A and B are shown apart, each in its own frame.
Chain A
Amino acid sequence: MITPIKPPPSRKRLTSASDRVFEIVILLLASIIVLVFLMSIYQLGKESLPALREFGWNFFTSRVWNPVTREFGAASMIAGTLVTSLIALAISVPLAIASALYVSEYAPKWLANPVSYLIELLAAVPSVVYGLWALFVIAPVLGKWQTSFFTDPDNMAALTRCNELWQSGHTSLQCFFVPSAAAGRGLALAIIILTVMILPYTASVARDVIRLVPQDQREAMYALGATKWEVVSRAILPYARAGIMGGVILALGRALGETLAVAMVIGDSQDILKSIWGNASTMASVIANQFGDAQESLHRSSVVTLGLSLFFLSVVVNYVARIIIARLTPKGIQ
């Protein structure tokens, strides 16, 4: 005896209704992502309003940051953020690309994976731990070098000259490299630690795109009698450049927002930077160092405005990175 199968139409109706519910639930949960984004803009915008009303565009161009006189201008921190990020980027990009090439082209097979692992772990080290290491290990080394700098009478003469220049509110390229104290901390240490911190971002993106360069491309160059370096520089790097550029901009985004390691070593001075060895501050370091103590409402609002600027800066940088990767990348490399 054959039992009749349950007729499908009723099930079909049930199915579409439950699918509809599921879709709505998933959509609602996914919309929380948009909500977080909009809420962030609203929160930061609302709290920035008093400072923006008070100072307008001057907030971004004025160099004075003085809680006592209630004057707040972010030019020094913006300069600090850009200088640290761009110099760190300039140092780290060649190193990152080299390490990506090593892992994908040069390393023997048994070494490639462990080295890849290590570079990825570099990205997993927390910011505070980098800061701690920089404070306890690199700062004393820099400090020792600075002390030896001051024992030379010629250098002392240079410092005296630069001090006069700095006092008059100017600086020169020469004086930019003259240390004014043997502290170890300062802009230079922040740049060193930022360089290390953003390396793995460029390196891992570069490694991934280099691996995606078609094997034919390499073989064609080798068949023409090219050396390994010629293959790398003429067949691989041009092919992977868009992807690598995306990785570079990703690293820039990280550098702009990197907070605690920089806050711990940069010296937290709101004056415009005069020497690469001097104290400075970045937008993120000022938020970390001052927000907790900012009792006065205009001060607090100014610190949040720094956060809002950082928010928009990172949105723009990340968006540009995505556009560049999408536009320039040959099909197959994303």
Chain B
Amino acid sequence: MSAVTRTMTHTATSTQLSPTRKARNLLMGALITLATLVVVAPLILIFFYLLKEGIGAMNADFFTKVPAPEGEKGGGMLNAILGSLEMLALASVIGVVVGVAGGIFLSEYPRHPLMPTIRMISDVLAGIPAIVMGLVAYGLVVLKFGFSGLAGALALGFLMIPIVVRTSEEVLKLVPQTVREAGLALGLPKWLVTLRIVLPAAAGGIITGIMLALARVAGEAAPLLFTAFGNSLVNTNPLKPMSALPLEIYRGATSAYDENQRMAKAGALLLILMIFATSLLARRFSRRK
């Protein structure tokens, strides 16, 4: 007891800091807190700005009508909402199949001679600007078949691949080796162990990765500018030009007409809400696992 008291007094006397050290400590603490406020402020400002400006335009028309002709009032974003959903669904087919297979390859065949190459290329692919992927999809699809939702979906799918590869590799590696060994010891072939035991065990994390990838590409407008191109009418045919929310936001925000700008703000609010919901849900999901 007395020993404890003695130590405590000792600590108390020895932390008599020189004023400069104390001042610097306080100053840096304050600066760091202030900087954090500066970092978070834009997010809050953007969110409330869009809420204030966009909520009024989010009526039934917004979800059920196509944009009004330039300069006229009314209209909605049905074409963009449907186009976004369809292109994201198509992009997921590419992104999920290739991405998850890539993740399985990197985690289950670590000694394969091609493994370092594929890992490096998938990492490098993650840094390629979206607009460059738009140029690639333009060359691959648009030059031969014209502007189409499919070309846009291809660009978005390419952008999804590295994100899905990275996250699925990481969660697959978290599945304990003993689980795989248990499956193999039961006489199951490796492919059954991978598909029926390892993959389901990592499913939560993989779905999180897919959702994060979707949230990331859902807001991309740059690669759609000259692939999906945009369409002021509802179009569900993937071989024809198609609109998307980010595209309509871009057109509206750079338009001179108030009504288009109002629509862009409402569209931005919807997009941001969808993306935030997806990311938060994904985080929730992964945390519970």
A residues lining the B interface (CB < 8 Å): 8, 11, 14-16, 18-19, 21-23, 25-27, 29-34, 36-37, 39-40, 43-44, 46-47, 94-96, 98-99, 101-103, 106-107, 115, 117-122, 124-133, 135-137, 196, 199, 203, 225, 227-230, 232-233, 250, 253-254, 256-260, 264, 284, 287-288, 291-292, 304, 307, 310-311, 314-315, 317-319, 322
Contact = CB atoms under 8 A, between A and B. Distances in A.
B249 A129 contact: yes
B58 interface: no
B98 A33 contact: yes
B133 to A, nearest CB: 7
A227 B21 contact: yes
A142 to B, nearest CB: 15
Contacts of B202: none
B114 A27 contact: yes
A73 B106 CA distance: 42
Given A132-B268, A315-B127, A26 B104 contact: yes
Tell me what chain A mostly uses at the interface: helix, strand, loop, or mixed: helix
B29 to A, nearest CB: 6
A225 B22 CA distance: 12
B254 A257 contact: no
B127 A106 contact: no
A47 B127 contact: no
Contact of A229 (B28, B36, B112, B161): B28
B136 A128 contact: no
Given A257-B129, A292-B225, A43 B280 contact: no
Tell me what chain B mostly uses at the interface: helix, strand, loop, or mixed: helix
Nearest to B147: A292
Contacts of B31: 98
Given A117-B280, A136-B261, A227-B21, A30 B250 contact: no
Contacts of A95: 35, 38-39
A292 B118 contact: no
A126 B219 contact: yes
B130 interface: yes
Chain A CB within 10 Å — which of B42, B132, B226 has the most?
A: B132
Given A122-B43, A132-B268, A228 B25 contact: yes
A232 B25 CA distance: 10
Nearest to A200: B39
B39 A30 contact: no
B135 interface: yes
Contacts of B130: 257, 259
A288 to B, nearest CB: 6
A33 B162 CA distance: 8
Interface of B: 14-15, 17, 21-22, 24-25, 28-29, 31-33, 35-36, 38-40, 42-46, 49-50, 53, 97-98, 101-102, 104-106, 108-109, 112, 114, 117-118, 120-133, 135-136, 138-140, 158, 161-162, 165, 187, 189-191, 194, 215-216, 218-222, 225-226, 246, 249-250, 253-254, 261, 264-265, 268, 271-272, 275-276, 279-280, 283
B33 A128 contact: no
A250 B124 CA distance: 11
B101 A30 contact: yes
Nearest to A92: B39
Nearest to B194: A22
B154 to A, nearest CB: 10
Given A32-B161, A124-B219, A260-B250, 20 more contacts: A29-B101, A30-B104, A33-B121, A33-B161, A34-B118, A36-B161, A39-B140, A47-B139, A95-B39, A118-B43, A125-B272, A127-B221, A128-B249, A229-B28, A256-B129, A259-B130, A260-B221, A287-B132, A310-B132, A315-B124
A257 B225 contact: no
9 contacts: A30-B106, A39-B140, A106-B32, A120-B279, A122-B43, A126-B219, A126-B249, A311-B128, A314-B132
A100 to B, nearest CB: 9
A256 B50 CA distance: 27
Contacts of A229: 24-25, 28-29
A225 B10 CA distance: 12
